[in-house]
Every structure is written in structure tokens, then in C-alpha cells.
Amino acid sequence: MKKRAGVLFAVGATVAGLVTAVPPAVSADTASAAGRAAARTTLTWTACGTKSYPKLQCASVQVPLNHADPQGRQITLALSRVRHTARNFQGPLLVNPGGPGGSGLSLAGFVAGSLPEKVAAQYDVVGFDPRGVGASEPALDCRPGHFSAVRPDSVPGGAREERDGVGRARAFAEACGEKYGDVLPYIDTVSAARDLDVVRRALGAQRISYFGYSYGTYLGAVYARLFPQRVRRLALDSVVDPTGVWYDNNIAQDHAFDARHKAFAAWVARHDAVYRLGGDPARVEAAWYRMREALRRSPAGGKVGPAELEDTYLPGGYFNGYWPHLAEAFASYVNDKDPAPLVAAYKNFGANDASDDNSYSVYTAVQCRDASWPRDWGTWHEDNWDVHEKAPFSTWNNAWYNAPCAFWPTGRLDPPDVTNDQLPPALLLQATEDAATPYGGGAALHRMLSGSALVVESGGGNHGITLSGNACLDRYLADYLATGEVPRGSGLGEADAVCDALPDPKPLPPERTAAPSRGSALHGLLGYRG
């Protein structure tokens, strides 16, 4: 989970502190008689609307730190919601932006405001900060400033530099163990999934619907495996490969992000009249690596060295709407010898603040606990140098991001098998060129979830593809949430339906600003690194 580029929407600004009266929740169980009431919610909701999401309400719920000891120590999860307004109430729709480590409080407002009004009105759209995240308590922050600029070059220049990188990773893991040793054994996906069932009960719902992006797809699949009878609808966008958790998935990302960086270079080359960096993609890519080397010798503005440059351009692998801004900074540095736009791009796309420190702490806590990672650094060394030779853009940057898992102070769990034949039809949505969750993950989960449907964005390279401007994809999502029906069979292999990708963006207009889009709003909430 990386810096969230674009505008972030804080949920903390309350409106009048109003406490809402909570009526009995209507059952969302379609097997029940219409109108039958479920248990009364145990939550107290207060108004916490923002300028962007004025209808938001907030609450909190206590969950066991250790679900095997439900009467033991309790921790707190922060919740948000936008209430239903339609008479046809379909129950709660829980939403998650991914991570692990992503806050979902504002996502509730975004989803409620982006779905067709008739569909959103039928749900209580509920966001949440998973255990350890954001407004939940305790919120992790293992080593504040771990990503402060200027970090060492992510690509080791020799054995000494690699040892220094290992030392930084070990220090982060040790700091986490020292500060949160009593909590870390319970920061994992299975525990977070069990939290969702506590939330379900607190909401007074017999069943929940769930809509997750990125890592949120894995969290949803795990919840569905643990509590299949509690799932009403399950929509998963940009699907994590559940067979590669987590070391293998990160290696796959390295290759995929290198391909997306090449796609960015090709886009810049197509607009050579604007950027003057060459009409040959290979020439453009070579210029980017020359810029990287120049920054190694002299960081731009004393802030942007090679590692920070990678942090700045990695978001372009998640969302091509950032390409025009990144290309402007690239061209200014190379052609005009002006580092100021690059420094500005770093501040917007790559720099980390306290919320990012929290997100990264939870990211490592979950991924390092969830599954086995190599303990022998020799394995990391060999694997990452092998991949770097083929995919140099972000391989070592990603290696150091995950390297604390080689030294994590807890034991490792075995990832659950999320194969499931007890669910109602699930809807999976996947872009063919997604770098963060490559296409094979969506295809794999489609095979594992009996009765699921796979909607493919052909040629799409963005991560997080619904409610981002593609009307075809949005129609499938809205129809599913409204009716529970999924498409069946496109005649195109494993896909049940295919949507064309949106066109690539255009360069910025002469005033060098672009109107905000739903895509940029969504990707500001999803963040990076899953």
C-alpha cells in the first residue's frame, strides 16, 4: 500500500455531531419473507459527513483481538456508512479498497455516490478500517519515517549496499516486534475476515453483500470461505491470485509493472510532438533510465533520488490517468533541466506521510503473517537479481518493500484454500493488462468459485476498473448488485463477458490542468501496492 495520489477525503470532519436513531434492520436474506426484520443493530451512528461525502455516518465496533478467545482482549474497528433510502432494502454492502492497510471509510461515500442512484439507494453502503488501520485502535506505525527521502538507491550497487538494505528491512521488522509484539500474531487476513462477521452481527444482518478491490478481493474470498452462508452477493474487482500468496504474487508483479512502464514509454513516444523525448518507445525508456542515473548522482531538490523516482512513477502502473502528469515532469527534467515538476510529482504521487506509515505497517504485518516467506536472504538475492535482469523498473524497489518479511517476528500461517462451491454466483472483474493483480489471478479465482462469472476488460491496464468511467463494466456491476444475476458465457474462452478498455489519456491541455475524473477519485482512495 503506497501513497494515495490525488485528493484524499478525511472522514473525521463531523457535521453537527448528530446521533442517529437506528431502526430495526430489514433482513437482506432473499430466502426470508419480504419485510421480516433482522436483529436490531448494536451500533451507534453519528454524522461525520465531509464536503465530498456529506451523507456519511460513523460508528465503531469492538472485536476480539484473538478470535479463538472471544472474551479476551478487545480492539476497535472504525466503520462508516451511507444509509439506504429505498423501500426495497437489500441490506448492508461492505466495501474495501485493498492494501492490506487501506482505509475504507471514505470508500463508502465514493461507492454510494458512484453507483446508479436506484442501486445505491437499496443498500447501506458500509466502509471500515480493518484491524490496525487508520481510525481503528490500535493503529500500527512501526517505524515512522521509514520512507523518508532520500533513501538508498533501491538497486544495490554491490554487496555492501545490499547488506545495508537488508539491515533497513531487519530494523523495520524488529521495530514492529518491539512496539506491537502482543498484536502482530493477530494481524492477518483470516482474523480480518472474522472481524467482518462481527460487523455483520453488529449491523443486524443475516447476510452481507461485499464489494472489494485489489487485496479486498482476497479478504472477500477468505470471508466467503469461512462464512459462505453469510454471503448474499460478492463482487470482486482486480483479483488477487489466491494461489500465489504472497511471495510468488510479488514476483509476478515485478514483470507486470515493467510491462506497464514500457506501455507508458510507448504512450510518451506516440506524443513526441508534445514531450520531445523521441518517437521510439525504447528511446523514451532509455531516457527515463538516464534520468534515474542522474538522480542517483544528484537527487532532484534534495528529495528525489532513484528510489523516490520509482515511487513516483509506480502509480502510473496502476492508473494511466496519471501518465500526462508524469510525462510532463519527465520532459521538464530531461529537456528543460528543470527538476521542480519532478519534485512536485514526487510530493503528489510518491511521498509518504503518517497515514502511509500506518498503511505500510499493516501491509507488512498482514503479508508477513499470512504465509511463508523465504528466511534465507540468499533466496531473495538470487530471485530478485534474476527478475531484475528481465524487468528492472521496480523489482528491487518491490523487494525492499517486502523484505521485512524475511525477518518478521511472528510465525507464519498457512493461507486458506478459498475454493468454494457453497456461494451464490459471484461477480469477478479483471483487466487483461493489470500489473498489480495480473490477469491470471482473476482467471484462477473464477475457477475456484463455483458458479462465478468473470467480466474482462480487454486491453485494459488499470487496477481498479469499476466505478472508474467504463460504462460497460459499471453496468455489469450495477445489474449484479440490483438483481444478483451474472452474465453467462461470451464465447470468448473463460470470460463470461468482455468490455473494451477505455482509450488512453491525452496529454494535458495548454493550461496544464485536467478536470477531475471518477478514475482519479477512485485511485486516490485505492492507493498502491495492492
Alpha-carbon distance of 384 to 378, in angstroms, equals: 10
Q: Report which residue type is found at 209.
A: S
Among candidate residues 146, 261, 463, 523, the one labeled active-site is 463
Alpha-carbon distance of 428 to 420, in angstroms, equals: 14
DSSP string, 307-368: HHHHHHHTHHHH-GGGHHHHHHHHHHHHHH---HHHHHHIIIII---HHHHHHHHHHHHHHH
What does the buried/exposed string (b/e) look like for 467-498 if buried means 16 or more CB atoms within 10 Å of the residue's CB? bbbbeebbebbbbbbbeeebbeeeeeeebbbb
Q: What does residue 40 show for φ and ψ, rounded to 5 degrees?
A: -65, 140
CB burial of residue 387 (10 Å; 0-12, 13-18, 19+):
buried
Among candidate residues 27, 214, 238, 332, the one labeled active-site is 214
Report whether 342 contacts 329 (CB < 8 A).
Answer: yes
Neighbours of 398 (CB within 10 A): 22
Q: What is the DSSP letter of 145?
A: T
In angstroms, how far is CA 212 from the centroid of its own chain? 9
Cell output for 203:
449491523
Among candidate residues 241, 383, 434, 474, the one labeled active-site is 434
Alpha-carbon distance of 419 to 448, in angstroms, equals: 5
Nearest-Å Rg of the Cα atoms of the chain is 22
Instruction: Let me know if 434 is a catalytic residue.
Output: yes
Instruction: Let me know if 214 is a catalytic residue.
Output: yes
The catalytic site residues sit at: 214, 434, 463
